[in-house]
Amino acid sequence: MKLGMLTACLPTWPLERVAAWAADTGYERLEVAVWPGTGGRDFEAAHIDVARFDAAEHDRVQGLLRETGLEISALAYYENNLHPDPGRRAEIRAHLKHAVDAARALGVPYVGTFIGRDPSLSVPDNQREAERVLPELVDYAGERGVRLVIENCVMEGWHPDGHPGNIAYSPELWEWMFSLGLYLNWDPSHLMWLGIDPLATIAPYADRIAHAQAKDIELDPVARNRYGFFGTTAKNGDPWATGWWRYRVPGRGQVDWARVVDRLYETGFTGTLSVEHEDPLWGGTPEKVCQGLTIAHRTLRPLVVA
């Protein structure tokens, strides 16, 4: 197992600066964000230009890896592959293929994304649509020696009522998506607010957990008693507001990281545990983000055998 970090939390820094800081801090791998850089979410970083990935970009990235001693665990492009707008869906599909092509050129084994959802349709109807459109993407990646890994993020902000906007949120649905040739980028934080024990989901699906993300969560059961499971309706313009939980960096929430890492080792996981920083207390500026990433590193480094 190697300790890595997702670069999306530092969207204003170039990859050179992110990599230098990560290597100096003691991280071993980068999960590199490859959004086009035109999205609306503040974590949509474009640290590799996969849409115009040429020999110069290839040499830039490979030289940076040699210089820092880092490896790339995955390229990250987490978008809605079932977007209800056909034009937007086509854009996402094309960019995901660019990410796969860049991963192949760089020798990166995984590209991370979401299944997504059309919020106007039921989960079963979305499954049928996914069965129609996703196998071609799986084949495209497989023919290039790359696997698509799906994060089990609920993406509740993509649904007007805070319901799941990414239909990969439960082990029941993982089993379905595995049948399509997809793999899992396992994240315990999403499971905890859904009421699913993260530890119970590792061993049964160990052969499909290709990558893992380290994000913590802080739950407030008293607030949940007021708002209910799907969170507050008074979102004040923030579709992600729930009112009863928030993401934290590892070591500042309620995930038992010693047991999580131990269970990953027990089941033979040899991939990357990648810190995904979305902690509002340690955000807002690159300096605070780096402090949060340092807290995460200090929490996890003693647990992950160097």
Task: Please state, as a whole number, how many other Cβ atoms lie within 10 Å of the Cβ of residue 71.
Answer: 14
| 179 domain-assigned | yes
Kindly give the interhelix angle for 15-25 and 55-68, rounded to the nearest 10 degrees.
20
226 within a domain of the structure (yes/no)? no
Domain-embedded: residue 196: yes
pLDDT tens by residue, 38-75? 544 555 799 999 999 999 999 999 999 999 999 999 99
* pLDDT at residue number 44: 78
Split into its structural domains, the chain has a count of 1
For 225-272, write each residue's pLDDT tens digit: 999 988 999 998 999 999 999 999 999 999 999 999 999 999 999 999
User: What's the pLDDT at 42?
Assistant: 54
The identity of residue 214, as a single letter, is A
Close Cβ partners of 303 (under 8 Å, ≥ 6 residues apart): 257, 258, 261, 262
Question: What CATH number is attached to the domain comprising 260?
Answer: 3.20.20.150
Global pTM value? 0.96
Domain containing 164 equals: 2-216+254-300
Residue 158 lies in a domain: yes
Q: Calculate the alpha carbon distances from 142 to 62, 82, 109, 136, 252 in Å.
A: 23, 20, 10, 10, 38
**276 within some domain:** yes
222 lies in some domain: no
Residues of the chain with pLDDT under 70: 38-43
CA 70 to chain centre: 19
- Give residue for tokens 């495209």: 140
Q: In the chain, count H helices and then E strands.
A: 9, 10
Q: What is the pLDDT of residue 39?
A: 47
